[in-house]
Chain A
């Protein structure tokens, strides 16, 4: 099977790259192993939340200039322009966001902490500085839904000076769903709240319980495939209403995954779901073809290849007792040889292993045995030099390196 580019990995990175290339007229295949880390998404996208010293960042574009040379942002070119492109790409796929690359805003985490971020999905609670735009809010939650610790969140809100009342809400269908208590997860609740009629009744329930609060906060449990119903609810509720991130599985994450895939396929892209690249045929410094687990006997041939397989969780990197390696091609990986150095005893410290990843040159080409492979690029969390937890830089690195790779391929 012949393509212009084969992208390995179907998460935010792989789909961003795939969409950019397909939009430029390329024939692209994305090979996706299971659902991606988007299912853990918060509903906000980070560019750079903290600098290398751990201080909160106000202007990511400026602060990125201070990152050490080894950070992948140093290989993407014009950060501000690419960030704008990334936001536009999301919007074209139906993922509307607010925020800008030159000024972070704050988001509320599922445990009530406040963190700087770049973009938040439309309808989400965003906070400027450290004060809520309301004096009194009603924090509502679906009875039986445990992945939304309301007490923690209320504490966080109160620290910002707001008066908070916690209000449980329910509907007969939601009560029925509680028969399987372990399945009261955000994504299943979204399935129950899957039609217009029930959303209208939910709005009535919310309106009835709102009391004298100025605004309503609700866990992000609506709209697993598109956000029509989440918007409808917002319209039907008589007061300002905002969604707050939940503990995964993430409904907005599942929605982003679905919308990005749809956009990619609408542009003519081929999405190989539930498959993975298991081998490749290297000839000198060029990758000739790759093979997947499921398409036995069919080689995928392309001019260029993109490795967007993620970090340890996505299995883009694997570790055993002695080493860290890239499992498909055995590419060169940056990591510390001494295993005890991989981690810090204090789990809240920055963990060194988070910066492990494949080595790349200035154009993001990967390397094997010290030689650059000239038609294979890496993007996203598989890259070395980025601690996305410490820097709050995950989605920015995913999307900006993906766009940079697409540009390098199209050059």
Chain B
């Protein structure tokens, strides 16, 4: 009876577990920088008590939440503060998304259009005049450098140059590349293919891949996010049915599909969740279980600082990427204090958020400047834009670092021998 009573007392996001300690507020990147934001405790568990009584207590300032989930990581009582806030926005906010928000949110659509006309798009996005237009007409801040668009989409490159060889491998993974790899930085996708192939895995695209929807969720386009989510889940189920793990190179896409689909969009993901993982985690686990060995170039030398992206922190997976990087003998890895860079997807692109966004990132930029490194490494692509724009230091995904440092021939050789050893 006692156990049952306690079980029945737990609400969806643990909001009644809040003991009002304000620790979440201490670690919220927006609180303290933006005085109009009521902070996680007030916006989350405190406000929820009122909203349950009457929806009119919904406060529009909740849209200032970055959905970074640092409050959840900090909370000693397991309250899902960020989820409470996002759910409240979904439930009570009645306004319609602006054209600008729709545009920023539709990374797929905008990405496809831009890739077709990449040189023009890059030129236009960099142009003073069009920046001014974006600034005034669209309210996209003029200080932002837009990530440039690649001339050839990753998917096109893959189909033309890589797809045919993938079947010759005995083991296989599927790759959810995400919008960023596809439209802005295909090199990361190429690096992933290089590393996986060297490890003896063929790489395959999903039957149908849509943007994971994180930007749609952030901009209030929940219906569309769910529709795209269902397509992704379906494609992933097909891959999983073939015995393939779905790997990614983006912590945010991974977090969105593993956790937000279920928590925010009420989608069924239980059968997919454990088969969807970050490529660094996939590799680390194989190595940890003794099923894979990597060999690195003797002449590789680099000093790199690791930046913990918010969703990486929330997933608790920093250790996978950093332990993997630490295996590279020539890599001098510096851990930066885990803190938000301020961009939070499309948030920092909006004119009204630019200042807050840069203020949030300031301590991080300073730490990077002082770290005296050749590059920063992080698992999130929007952190990359923000850090490169704000510090001028190049940012590399851990997979790109592995690809660069890897001794491909030796790695292939090592793992061939391993198979023979196992057979003997």
Q: Which residues of B contact A191 (CB under 8 A)?
A: 31-33
User: If A35-B23, A180-B35, A249-B22 touch, does A262 touch B337 (CB 8 Å cutoff)?
Assistant: yes
Q: How far is A233 from B136 in the complex, measured between Cα atoms in Å?
A: 42
C-alpha spacing A176/B31, complex, angstroms:
12
Tell me if A375 is interfacial: C-beta within 8 Å of chain B: no
- What's the least CB distance linking B333 to chain A, in Å? 11
With A34-B78, A35-B74 as known contacts, state yes or no: A273 contacts B32, CB within 8 Å.
no
Whether the Cβ atoms of B73 and A270 lie closer than 8 Å is no
Contact A314 B32 (CB under 8 A): no
Partner pick for A270 among B22, B39, B319, CB 8 A cutoff: B319
B39 with A182: CB separation less than 8 A? yes
A235 to chain B, nearest CB (A): 22
Min CB–CB distance A135 → chain B (angstroms) = 36
Q: Is the interface of A mostly helix, strand, loop or mixed?
A: loop
The answer on a CB contact under 8 Å between B39 and A273 is no
Contact B21 A320 (CB under 8 A): no
CB distance from A13 to the nearest CB of B (A): 14
Contact at B22–A40, with CB atoms within 8 Å? no
B1 to chain A: which residues have CB within 8 Å?
321
Q: Smallest Cβ distance from B32 to chain A, in angstroms?
A: 3
Q: CB < 8 Å: which of A35, A188, A262, A294 contacts B317? A: A294
**With an 8 A cutoff between CB atoms, is B409 at the interface?**
no
B76 touches A33 (CB 8 A): yes
Give A298 to B3 CA distance when docked, in angstroms.
30
Q: Does A202 contact B (CB under 8 A)?
A: no
Q: Would you call B35 and A320 a contact (CB within 8 A)?
A: no
Nearest CB in chain B to that of A248: its residue? B21
Candidates A1, A249, A294; contact of B315 at CB < 8 Å:
A294
A39 within 8 A of B: yes
Query: What separation, in Å, do the CA atoms of A273 and B76 have in the docked complex?
Result: 11
Question: In the complex, which residues of chain A have a beta carbon less than 8 angstroms from the beta carbon of B26?
Answer: 35, 39, 185, 187-188, 224, 249, 254
A182 and B36 alpha carbons, distance in the complex (Å): 11
Interface residue? B13 (CB, 8 A): no
Contacts known (A183-B25, A294-B316, A295-B319); A34 close to B39, Cβ less than 8 A: no
Q: Determine if A249 and B285 form an interchain contact, defined as CB atoms under 8 angstroms apart.
A: no
- Distance in angstroms from A303 CB to nearest chain B CB is 17
Residues of chain A within 8 A of B41, CB atoms compared: 182
B5 within 8 A of A: yes
Check B319–A35 contact: CB distance below 8 A: no
Q: How distant is the Cα of A180 from the Cα of B77 in the complex, in angstroms?
A: 24
Closest to B315 in A: A294
- 8 Å CB contact of B35 from A179, A225, A258, A295: A179
1/0 per residue, CB under 8 A from B, across A219-245: the answer is 000001100000000000000000000
Enumerate chain B residues within 8 angstroms of A36, measured Cβ to Cβ. 76
How many Å lie between the Cα of A187 and that of B288 in the bound state? Answer: 40
Q: Mark A388-399, 1 if CB is under 8 A from B, else 0.
A: 000000000000
Q: Which residues of A contact B23 (CB under 8 A)?
A: 34-35, 39, 249
Q: How many A-B residue pairs have C-beta atoms within 8 angstroms? Tell me.
A: 124
Q: Does B42 contact A (CB under 8 A)?
A: yes
**Do A35 and B76 touch across chains, with their CB atoms under 8 A apart?**
yes
A273 touches B38 (CB 8 A): no
A254 to B42, CA, bound (A): 20
CA separation between A355 and B288, bound complex, in Å? Answer: 41
Q: Please provide the chain A residues from 145 to 195 with a CB less than 8 Å away from any CB of chain B in the complex.
A: 176-180, 182-183, 185, 187-188, 191-192, 194
Among A178, A294, A320, point to the contact of B2 (Cβ < 8 A).
A320
CA distance A40 to B274 in the complex (A): 37
Interchain CA distance A274-B3 in the complex, whole Å = 26
B76→A313 contact, CB < 8 A: yes
- Determine whether the beta carbon of A272 is less than 8 Å from that of B319: yes
> Do A182 and B42 have beta carbons less than 8 Å apart?
yes
CB distance from A221 to the nearest CB of B (A): 12
Q: Cβ of B6 < 8 Å from any Cβ of A?
A: yes
Contact of A34 among B73, B284, B319 (CB under 8 A): B73
Name the one of B22, B33, B72 contacting A185, with C-beta atoms under 8 angstroms.
B22
Q: Which residues of A contact B317 (CB under 8 A)?
A: 294-295
| CB pair A183 B39 closer than 8 Å | yes
Closest to B77 in A: A34
Of A1, A37, A177, A258, which contacts B288 at CB under 8 A? A1
**B335–A187 CB distance below 8 A:** no
Most chain A Cβ neighbours within 10 Å, of B39, B274, B316: B316
Determine if A347 is an interface residue (Cβ-Cβ < 8 Å).
Answer: no
A185 CB contacts on chain B under 8 angstroms = 22, 25-26
With an 8 A cutoff between CB atoms, is A292 at the interface?
yes
Closest to B273 in A: A296
Complex interface: chain A residues within 8 A of B319 (CB): 1, 270, 272, 295
Cβ of B261 under 8 Å from chain A? no
A35 to chain B, nearest CB (A): 5
Is B75 an interface residue when CB atoms closer than 8 A count as contact? yes
Evaluate contact between A188 and B31: CB separation under 8 angstroms.
yes
The residues in B between 326 and 359 inclusive whose CB is less than 8 angstroms from any CB of A are 335, 337-338
Closest Cβ–Cβ distance, residue A223 to chain B (whole Å): 13
What are the residues of chain A within 8 A of B417 when measuring CB–CB?
none
Q: Assuming the A-B contacts A177-B35, A183-B39, A272-B319, are A39 and B77 also in contact, with contact meaning beta carbons closer than 8 angstroms in the complex?
A: no
Of all chain A residues, the one with the shortest Cβ separation from B26 is A187
Q: Indicate whether B318 reaches chain A with its CB closer than 8 angstroms.
A: yes
**B76 contacts A34, C-beta separation under 8 Å:** yes
| Chain A contacts to B: CB under 8 angstroms | 1, 33-37, 39-40, 176-180, 182-183, 185, 187-188, 191-192, 194, 224-225, 248-249, 254, 258, 262, 265, 270, 272-275, 292-298, 313-315, 320-322
Which B residues form the contact surface with A (CB < 8 A)?
1-3, 5-6, 21-23, 25-27, 31-33, 35-39, 41-42, 46, 72-78, 274, 284-285, 288, 313-320, 323, 335, 337-338, 363
10 pairs from A and B in contact (CB 8 Å cutoff)? A35-B76, A37-B76, A180-B31, A187-B22, A187-B32, A265-B335, A274-B72, A295-B320, A298-B288, A320-B2
Name the 7 nearest CB pairs between A and B, nearest first: A294-B316, A191-B32, A321-B2, A187-B26, A274-B73, A34-B76, A188-B32
